[in-house]
Amino acid sequence: MNQFELLVCCVENYSHIKNVASNQVARSFAKKGIFELLLEGYEAYCDMDEGFFIGMIDGYMENTTDAEESEYNKHRQRQAVLPKALKQIAKQNNMTKIEAITSFYASKTGEAFAHDSTEYYSKTPEELAELYNQEKS
C-alpha cells in the first residue's frame, strides 16, 4: 500500500466505522495531525494492514458515535479510485500528499465524493481530478 492509499483507506474506513462523512473525517484528521501521524507510522510499520492504522487512529481520536448501520458503505469503492485522483491533483497543483488530500476533502467535489448517494465513487480518477481542478480555477 502506498502513502496515498494508506491515507485514503484510513479516512474512508474511519468514515464507515464511525458513520461520519469522509470529508468531515479528513478535516478532523488534518486538524488533529492524524495525517502526519499516519505517514510517520507508515515509515515504521509499512508492512501493517489498514486495520493496524485504524487502531492507531482510535488511540488518538476522540470516539464519536459508533454506527449501528452505516450510511457510508461505498468506502471500498472510494478507496480504489481516490488515491490515483489525489496523485494527479498533487502533481498538477504542486501539492504535498497531505495538502492534496486535505484540499480535496475540503472542496465541493470532495464533499460530494464523501456521500454514497452522489455516486461520485463511480467516477474515474481523471474525472475526479478534473472536477476538483475546475472547481479550484
pLDDT, tens digit, 9 for 90 and up, residues 11-67: 998 888 888 999 999 999 999 888 998 888 888 787 777 777 777 776 655 544 444
Grid cell 485504524 is found at 54
Q: How many helices (H) and strands (E) does the chain have?
A: 8, 0
**Helical axes 50-60 vs 3-18, angle rounded to 10°:** 60
**Mean of per-residue pLDDT scores for the chain:** 86
Task: Note if the pTM is more than 0.85.
Answer: no
How far apart are the C-alpha atoms of 123 and 119, rounded to whole Å? 8
Task: Kindly state the cell numbers that stand for 40.
Answer: 510517520
